Copies of this chain bind each other. A is one copy, B any other.
Amino acid sequence: MDERDVRLLKAIADLGTGSPEKLHEATDIPVSTIHYRLNNLKDDGVIENDLYDIDLEAFGLGVTVVVEVLADYSGSYEEVGNKLLEIEGVTQLYFTMGETDFIVVAHLADSDRVERLISDFEATPEVERTNSTFVISAMRDSHRALQSYTLETLLDELGIED
């Protein structure tokens, strides 16, 4: 995996499309080369399916951390949240009820990077305290939430008659 692969994958993530033509426009990589690269990435298991889900482990972001963030959001929580969103590696950001204010899931290259992540958090003035938990194994880390449901349950819970 080299720079071009990374640019390609990032373009897919940013644009939200797998269209070779669009990716060409964004990356300047010739369309045929995009095919060539994507095929290799599929063979290598970095790309998992037609939806371009990425195996973060294979890609090189194998470290997952869950961070609880306590913050003083005397302004609005959105304001603080947006600052946290700008920190690199933050994949999920939840504003929550209860003891902690934000819960963050981050995907990082290695455990050394966790340090930087935390110091990025602490460098945000509104952040008062953080509490990080290392993930040993991500047994499921999917955005395809519907997978975990049966069709019946979905119809049921959404109140749809057959």
Interface set of A (CB-CB < 8 Å, partner B): 1-3, 6-7, 9-10, 12-19, 48-54, 56, 60-61, 64, 66, 77-78, 81-82, 84-85, 87-98, 100, 103, 105, 107-110, 113, 133-151, 153-155, 157-158, 160-162
Among A9, A87, A113, A158, the most chain B Cβ lie within 10 Å of the Cβ of A158
Main secondary structure of the interface of A (DSSP, over half): mixed
The verdict on A155 contacting B92 (CB below 8 Å), with A16-B144, A49-B17, A139-B85 known, is no
Query: In the assembled complex, which residues on chain B have CB atoms less than 8 Å from the CB atom of A157?
Result: 60, 108-110, 113
Do A134 and B16 have beta carbons less than 8 Å apart? Answer: no
A94: which of B7, B56, B139, B160 is its contact (CB, 8 Å)? B139
16 pairs, CB–CB < 8 Å, chain A vs chain B: A10-B149, A12-B146, A14-B146, A54-B144, A56-B145, A60-B157, A87-B148, A89-B145, A89-B149, A91-B148, A92-B141, A94-B135, A95-B138, A96-B136, A97-B135, A97-B136
19 additional A-B residue pairs with CB within 8 Å, beyond A88-B150, A110-B157: A3-B160, A6-B151, A6-B154, A10-B147, A10-B151, A54-B146, A60-B158, A66-B96, A77-B137, A81-B137, A85-B139, A85-B148, A89-B149, A91-B140, A91-B145, A92-B141, A92-B142, A94-B136, A94-B139
